Structure 1
Amino acid sequence: MNRALPLAGVRVLDLTRLLPGPLCTSHLARLGAEVIKIEDTGAGDYASPGVRRLTNAGKRSVRIDLKNPQGLAVLHRLCATAQVLVEGFRPGVMARLGVGYGALAAINPALVYCSITGYGQDGPYKDEPGHDINYGALTGVADQVGSAAGPALSNLPLADLMGGTLTSAMGILAALFDAQRSRQGRHVDIAMADAVLAHAVMPMAELLAHGETAPTGGDVLTGRLACYGLYATQDGRHVAVGALEDKFWHTVCERLGHPEWAALHRSHDPQVQARLRADLARVFMGQPLRHWAALFEGAQACVSPVLRLSEALEHPQLVARGAALRDAQGQWQLPSAVKFGGEPRAMAGATPAAGEHTQELLTELGYAAQEIAALQDTGAVA
């Protein structure tokens, strides 16, 4: 029997831009929520076309000028029909526009109102601008990313995704669950810096145990041990070795033809680890990636080829799971990462053009055709 998705019947108003907020609401859409993307009548969401397509698929889109009193009235009417609102403006901006939590809670007391910012709604940095790199830097996390050769920049922005996206979704779902029982909403205050720090378990454990974190590239997961790292291959690719446990490391040594390395696995001598790392680097450099992928396929050794994204999309495991799917136009789509037992992955629909559903949504709200035309003429909506 086909069941409705868990968030079916939940309406989300999405006033966010760029990556963290749109991806958060995209996850909610893939779990069944109806997400209405609300953009201004000017620049709107200025994310790149690719990011916009991936993070806004399946949403409906309306353009509203919140500085126009008539546009503000439209949002108020929308708010009365919604369970969740998500915004990503600097602290105070929404309140100045007349759509802060207090104003909207007066219209809809059960509304879950999520604000996503870099540093939160209070504190001396609340008005500071920033990006993913800044939030990681200020929380001590960027110091722990990279190798002894220096810090690394990632194309997987941890603060944006772990903080702005996933932590927001977690807070929204918790508040929504409570609102279903209490009929009282909440203001969910998400700071990306807070969220990064809350997940910095490994360096925090090191700090608590030794009074200081390991230097960049000096912790277990960043280069201290030769059994955990990336090694270059003959063809300029890389292989990932994650043999932290003895049983996996023994298999690695046997497959590489060096059983004598097994005893060096967890040596605390930095020189021993450096020599072992150099030996591993020399061996892996001797063959192309396809050789190592074949050698360790099914070996139960925690050794994997470092695939390019185009290769990963075709990997048998990800194909079997439906982790990435092609839409009707043959374009890759990323369905929900949450897979419910016995049910197909939830695919998003098409990505709307800005304002594509303005007339449709206003009609649903009870506006007559003449009223909609008047709103468009005054620039309140588009």
Structure 2
Amino acid sequence: MAPLEDILVLDFSTLLPGPLATLFLAEAGAKVIKIERPGQGDEMRSYLPALDGEGINFAMLNRGKRSIALDLKDPASRRVLMPLLQRADVVVEQFRPGVMARLGLGYEDIRKIRPDVVYCSISGWGSNGPKAHQAAHDLNFMAETGVLGLSVGADGAPILPPILAGDIAGGAYPAMINILLALRRRDRSGEGAWLDLAMGENLYPFLYWALGNAHALDLWPAPGAETVTGGSPRYQIYRTRDGRHIAAAPLEDKFWATFTALIGLPEAFVDDGRDPAASRVAVAARIAMQDAAHWQGVFAGKDVCCSLVLSLQEALADPHWAARGIFGQSIEIAGKSFPSLPSIIAPVLRGAGVAPRAPGLGADGARV
């Protein structure tokens, strides 16, 4: 039995955070029904790239779900929704604070219909506070929490992150975790819950190292100057002779000793505590003397925590992923089948299998 196969989720969310969270719930067996606007539906449906007009991003995040199209401002549509609200175990919404309440679908409204509902609200800044209604995207969350300012390039400017940490690590993951905890509490007490989740504030645990130093010792991190942001030769990206890059993270002394011996670092720079910048320059000079393939051979089988920086195409060809089977599930779009997103749900907890297709807009209205 999949752990959530008796759970019904009504998903009012769009774009990334909510839909990814409900995808995880679906992979654990939950029945997920998307409530979408007639005509347009989830904005992600229209995002490019697309296959035969079907958005690939939408399909990746919404496979195996069902869709009904309802105008939530229309009282008649809300009446159609009533039987689902009476049965819903979980409601997920991602509007700005107050929108669902104005539609008569806020937590207090739903609780009158389903007293033990687990109601998850995902927003940028939470339901209260000066920023509660401020528009933002992932880059803004990282900028306004201090995350973005800690990692800088050679010119001292912040580096544009390649991942949407706010939406996923600050939104989708906390949503799934808190929904599961609330369901567990409901199993024991019969109580429902309103989960007020803010993507911005959920980034702060990633800065545990900086917050501890700042709050306890008044030592505030300098951009590009801390152990994990560029200040240490033991946590750096070094350029090879042929223009590739080595990600070197021999942080612990045992790894550092092996690493410096393998690259032939002059003894004067091995004690990097005396002058970290000089040691960093010396390591860079050694790495730059050889091609990437040489260093791969030198580091192979050694505990040095060093990796060649791969392109995504190179990374996906790694036989380790095939051995783990992480791309074993498929998604279908416009007659084409290709690997779906790897599931973060452990195999033993997954349902019998999430359908490989995302639903057409309103395709399940009559059946649901």
**C-alpha contact (below 8 Å) 1:147/1:222 kept by paired residues:** no
Choose from 87, 99, 103 the match for 2:105.
99
Note the aligned Cα RMSD (angstroms).
2.3
What CA deviation, in whole Å up to 9, does each residue of 1:102-125 have, x standing for no partner? 111111111100000011111121
Counterpart position of 1:312: 315
Moved more, 133-142 or 223-232: 133-142
- Give the 3 Å change call, closer, same or farther, for CA 92–341 of structure 1 in structure 2: closer
Taking the TM superposition and a 5 Å limit, the aligned residue runs for 1:319-330 are 319-325=322-328, 327=330, 329-330=336-337
Superposition TM-score, scaled by structure 1 size: 0.86
Counterpart position of 2:69: 63
CA deviation after TM superposition for structure 1 residue 324, in Å: 2.4
**C-alpha contact (below 8 Å) 1:39/1:63 kept by paired residues:** yes
Moved more, 334-343 or 183-192: 334-343
**AA of the residue aligned to 2:38:** T
**AA of the residue aligned to 1:314:** A
Sequence identity, in percent? 38
Counterpart position of 1:290: 293
Moved more, 178-187 or 339-348: 339-348
Moved more, 54-63 or 41-50: 41-50
Moved more, 323-332 or 211-220: 323-332
**C-alpha contact (below 8 Å) 1:339/1:345 kept by paired residues:** no
- Give the 3 Å change call, closer, same or farther, for CA 6–343 of structure 1 in structure 2: closer
**C-alpha contact (below 8 Å) 1:335/1:346 kept by paired residues:** no
Choose from 165, 169, 188 the match for 2:176.
169
Distance in 1 of aligned mates of 2:288 and 2:354: 41
Distance in 1 of aligned mates of 2:153 and 2:168: 22
Distance in 1 of aligned mates of 2:85 and 2:228: 46
Tell me, what secondary structure is at the counterpart of 1:325?
coil
Taking the TM superposition and a 5 Å limit, the aligned residue runs for 1:227-238 are 227-238=234-245
Counterpart position of 1:337: 344
**AA of the residue aligned to 1:227:** R
Q: Which runs of 5+ in 1 are unaligned?
A: 362-382
**AA of the residue aligned to 2:40:** A
Counterpart position of 1:357: 364
Moved more, 245-254 or 144-153: 144-153
- Give the 3 Å change call, closer, same or farther, for CA 173–159 of structure 1 in structure 2: same
**AA of the residue aligned to 1:324:** F
Distance in 2 of aligned mates of 1:195 and 1:61: 29
Choose from 6, 9, 12 the match for 2:9.
12
Distance in 2 of aligned mates of 1:207 and 1:348: 48
What CA deviation, in whole Å up to 9, does each residue of 1:68-105 have, x standing for no partner? 11211122221112210100001111011111111111
Distance in 2 of aligned mates of 1:210 and 1:350: 53
Taking the TM superposition and a 5 Å limit, the aligned residue runs for 1:80-119 are 80-119=86-125
Distance in 2 of aligned mates of 1:297 and 1:358: 56
Counterpart position of 1:365: none
* Residue 73 (str. 1) matches residue 70 (str. 2): no
Superposition TM-score, scaled by structure 2 size: 0.89
- Give the 3 Å change call, closer, same or farther, for CA 95–201 of structure 1 in structure 2: same
Point out which structure has higher relative CO (alpha carbons under 8 A, 6+ apart). Answer: 2
What CA deviation, in whole Å up to 9, does each residue of 1:244-281 have, x standing for no partner? 0011111212221336267324x1x4xx2222222222
Distance in 1 of aligned mates of 2:181 and 2:198: 17
- Give the 3 Å change call, closer, same or farther, for CA 341–7 of structure 1 in structure 2: closer
- Give the 3 Å change call, closer, same or farther, for CA 235–338 of structure 1 in structure 2: farther
**AA of the residue aligned to 2:313:** S
Moved more, 249-258 or 335-344: 335-344
**AA of the residue aligned to 2:84:** L
**AA of the residue aligned to 2:122:** I
What CA deviation, in whole Å up to 9, does each residue of 1:194-247 have, x standing for no partner? 211244201102213431322111111011110111112234332111100011
CA deviation after TM superposition for structure 1 residue 172, in Å: 0.9
CA deviation after TM superposition for structure 1 residue 339, in Å: 2.3
Counterpart position of 1:376: none
- Give the 3 Å change call, closer, same or farther, for CA 79–345 of structure 1 in structure 2: closer
**C-alpha contact (below 8 Å) 2:269/2:279 kept by paired residues:** no
* Residue 207 (str. 1) matches residue 214 (str. 2): yes
CA deviation after TM superposition for structure 1 residue 347, in Å: 5.7
**C-alpha contact (below 8 Å) 2:92/2:120 kept by paired residues:** yes
* Residue 301 (str. 1) matches residue 304 (str. 2): yes
